[in-house]
Amino acid sequence: MLLRWQQWNRRVRFALWVITLIGVAAALPLGAVRMEMEQTSKQVEYIFDYRDLVEVSELQARPQAFLAEHMDKLKAAGVTTLSVYESTMKELVQSGRLTYYSSRDAALLQGKFEPVGQNFTYILFNGEQEEEMIGPIVRAAFDRLDVPYGNWSYGGRNGMVVEMPVAEALMKTMDFDPMALQAIHDAGFRILPRFSDRVLPYDQAVMDTTLGELKKLGVSRILFEGDKVKGATDQAMDGSLDSFGELLNKYGIGIATIENLKKPQEGINKLAYITNYNVVRLYSLSPDDGMEMTPGAIADRFQLAAKDRNIRMFFLNGKIEGDTDTGKFVHNVDKLILAMGGENGVAAKLSKAGFTSGEPKPFDYEQPSWAKPARGIVAVGAIALITLLVGAFVPGVYIPVFLLGLVGSSGLYVLNSSTMEQALALGAAVSAPTLALVWVMNRIYSRTIGDRRIVGGDDWAVGRSKSSQVPNQPGAISDSGSRMKWVFPAHSMGRRFGMALSWFVVTTLISLVAVPMIFGLLNDITYNLVLEQFRGVSVLHLAPIALVAVYVLFYNGQTSVNKLRTLLSQPITLTWILLAAVIGAIGYYYLSRTGNAGQVSSIELVIRNFLETTFGVRPRFKEFLLGHPLLLLGLFLSLRYRAAWLLVIAGSLGQLTMVDTFAHIHTPLYISIIRIMLGLGTGIIIGCLLIAAWQLVEGALRKWAPAIIRKFVG
């Protein structure tokens, strides 16, 4: 019965590989569709924050002249759009629209005593045009709040008195400044309005009017301020988010999403869905970066964002601060103008890279009718791949694990299809590089400590070697563990190198089986727009290394149970504690460098820029400088030295990083392909150099070490 079960599992294992490869084949057309989609949006837009420009202008000797001059300079440098916010009293004062006073200040202005028991806000409009255009939005703001107000005038200027303290009135959000909108439009800029969700309750009629007026000014896309999109607060009670989305569709206005926010703006996913994903991604250069970075560094960062992260909108923030050394105010507007313009500026650099300045369009993501069935086939292939991984560590369970995977995935799909797709993508991403390293370790075992096949010949499963039953044969390991061979009989250098290189190639091919699974399962526009993200990056960066380490440490000659029992029975010593601390520190540093928020050194940034400039696409450090060279060296040395098996564990870093490259769905697929090819090529070259260096050092030691030892001993 046991033999028959093993035979069935052996046949199922072959079938699982067939199913896996069918899943890979089904994913490839989906990848082609994605690559075609990624070419449908190539225009980019450069935006400057108009409010920041006004704030910088306010601190100049001639604010209006400075504002007009720098608007012209920004336009000449390539900035196409100015961003405007919903107004506040403070901004209207900065723009020269009105002046406000407290009750005390208004009394002093009129030469009167301060009114007793009164703390109102007194407003004077700066002219007839301001009264005509700004007065309605100020009154509308206080009408929404049911705050009483009346007329007031002084010095030939009209205004109003509002029964609200100045400090409170300054915080109230008003509609967009119509004078600023018209001035920006007349200057030849496009307008990017930034809506907040602070004006409550949501009013569909007012919003219809506002969007209609913005559309007349050529607005085609909006951005949101704060942690919520327009209508999110009242959605549960009034369905305001749905109503706002309907208005956006009515006027053909899309939305922009900001990259790398700590938390997505509430309601952005639903609004994207309502607008049929009329969405463009935006990168915002922070005010501090705008002050500190050089123009060349800014240009390089923008080019990388457009090319590697599908960013199509670039937002520039102005900043002004006091310099205590010079006693002057310093701003970054002129630096940003310099970064944008010129032959080496942002606009010229991105244009040479194929990203022309213009109105950015959303990706054309329409999927063919066969896409959904193809993703189903890919899902089954991913389940088969995960089953193969489980069977590599627990022999004889292929059939139940595969059936359980099918049932569980079907149930999860019904509950949440996105979670099911991400879970299978993560499982496939972990499984392929782990299986690749398991395969190569079995090749090493078979040429060092004997044939590792169990009854039935399943060379993916774990079993005891024949040599382990014959303690006296060369390279054997005794069952008791009292005797372990650390140096194996040597093959020729050429044969070892040939086997190492061929094993490296096969290992890489097995690892890359996960790649089509990832882009096939996550083949949805929400991932390209980072509205949904591949989760479990930390698991992907740790699990393959841990599983390969377990395989090498517990499945290399003795039964895993015996080895685990021996390990657990060992007393905890200071050495073990220090070792655990070192491993933990290395793990923490390793994880701190993963993901979008990973930390890198200044030296590495210089090297990255050099690689980007030289190759156009930057290979990943963890592949070509660490993982690939260490794996190739480890495979070469493992045929001679047992300790070199640790290099194979370290080399798994390169394999999993290749797979992780494709988990960045917002990166164009062709960029990821070029990146891993460059990583493989340079990694193999560095690995060959390490092998050559090892041979030189080993040869020197063999020649000179005995003489040196005899000299000191004798």
Look at residue 449 in the predicted model and tell me its pLDDT. 66
Burial classification of residue 375, based on how many CB atoms lie within 10 Å of its CB (0-12 exposed, 13-18 middle, 19 or more buried): buried
Residue bearing tokens 């079993």? 463
What amino acid occupies position 562? N
Task: Supply the pLDDT for residue 584.
Answer: 59
List Cβ neighbours of 172 (8 Å cut-off, separation of 6 or more): 88, 89, 141, 142, 145
460/443 Cα distance (integer angstroms): 10
The radius of gyration of the chain from alpha carbons, rounded to an integer in Å, stands at 33
Between CA 45 and CA 96 the distance in angstroms is 29
Give the pLDDT confidence score for residue 461 in this predicted structure.
40
Alpha helices per DSSP H over 449-536 = 493-511, 514-521, 525-528
Q: Please state, in angstroms and as integers, the Cα–Cα distance from residue 580 to each residue in 565, 574, 576, 583, following that order.
A: 19, 10, 6, 5
The reported pLDDT for the residue numbered 522 is 94
The three-state secondary structure class of 477 is strand
686 CB neighbour count, 10 Å cutoff: 18
Return the ∠ at Cα 604 (arms to 310 and 539), rounded to 5°. Answer: 65
pLDDT score for 486: 72
- Distance between CA atoms of residues 606 and 608, nearest Å: 5
Spatial separation of the C-alpha atoms in residues 682 and 629, rounded to whole Å = 9
CA distance 463 to 475: 17
Q: Are 334 and 65 in contact (CB under 8 A)?
A: no
Q: Hey, what domains does the chain have and what are their CATH numbers?
A: 44-86+190-334 (3.20.20), 88-174 (no CATH), 435-707 (no CATH)
pLDDT less than 70: residues of the chain: 1-6, 449-485, 556-616, 705-714
